[in-house]
């Protein structure tokens, strides 16, 4: 259709910053707002999905990423434009932390099972990615922009537009969205960031 752009790799509708398989990435001092799914999203990339078959590399992504000093759900002019959830994380990796951000609802909204320690205290303690959160990778990995069927793979909701976020920010069941994690993970992209290199993400959603 005229005006429709199909990406080479799938990128989620309604997500501001996506870190997929990144290490030592810093997302700081941004205005991340009006993203109806997630403000930021972070998940690991298993070695086998990167054609790395050394067992020692299986869990070598999604470590030491810091998300700090951002304005979440707030536009530069001060207008409130909530994100669906401010932060989504699959629990993978050590040294990850989210702190000193300002939130449109007055508090952070996220899907964290347990909030990780502060950056100064070392951030998250290593755990593997939670299967229930990462379960949708295979479905979305079928994406193929040249195939009319798999431009929107069955059972992958990543390309569906989310509902407008509620002002309450109540933590609802994210089950459907958990099954929507995209193949961007398989590429080691960070929506804006590459795998395993320290970079600074500066984007206004």
- pLDDT tens digit string along 106-158? 999 999 999 999 999 999 999 988 887 877 666 777 888 888 888 888 888 88
Higher pLDDT, 180 or 174: 174
DSSP secondary structure letters along 159-182: TSPPPPPPTT------HHHHTT--
Give the distance from CA 48 to its chain's centroid.
20
Give the E-state strand segments of the chain in sequence order.
15-20, 26-28, 31-32, 38-43, 66-68, 71-72, 85-89, 97-99, 102-103, 200-201
Report yes or no: 86 and 41 within 8 Å, Cβ to Cβ. no
At residue 3, the pLDDT reads: 62
Locate all alpha helices (DSSP H) within 45-200, ordered by sequence. 131-134, 137-140, 175-178, 184-187
């Amino acid at each position: 259709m005229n005006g429709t752009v199909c990406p080479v790799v799938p990128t989620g509708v309604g997500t501001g910053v996506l870190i997929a398989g990144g290490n030592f990435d810093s997302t700081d001092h941004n205005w991340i707002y009006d993203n109806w799914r997630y403000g930021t999203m972070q998940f690991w990339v298993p070695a086998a999905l990167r054609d790395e078959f050394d067992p020692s590399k299986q869990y070598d992504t999604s470590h030491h990423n810091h998300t700090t000093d951002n304005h979440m759900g707030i536009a530069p002019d001060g207008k409130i434009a909530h994100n669906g959830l401010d932060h989504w994380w699959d629990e993978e990796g050590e040294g990850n932390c989210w702190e000193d951000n300002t939130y449109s609802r007055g508090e952070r909204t996220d899907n964290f099972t347990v909030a990780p320690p502060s950056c100064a205290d070392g951030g998250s303690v290593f755990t593997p990615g939670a299967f229930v959160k990462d379960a949708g990778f295979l479905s979305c990995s079928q994406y193929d922009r040249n195939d009319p069927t798999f431009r929107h793979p069955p059972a992958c909701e990543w390309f569906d537009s989310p509902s407008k976020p509620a002002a309450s920010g109540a933590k609802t069941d994210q089950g459907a969205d958990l099954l929507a994690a995209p193949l961007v993970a398989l590429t080691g992209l960070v929506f804006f960031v590459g795998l395993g290199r320290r970079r600074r993400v500066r984007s206004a959603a």
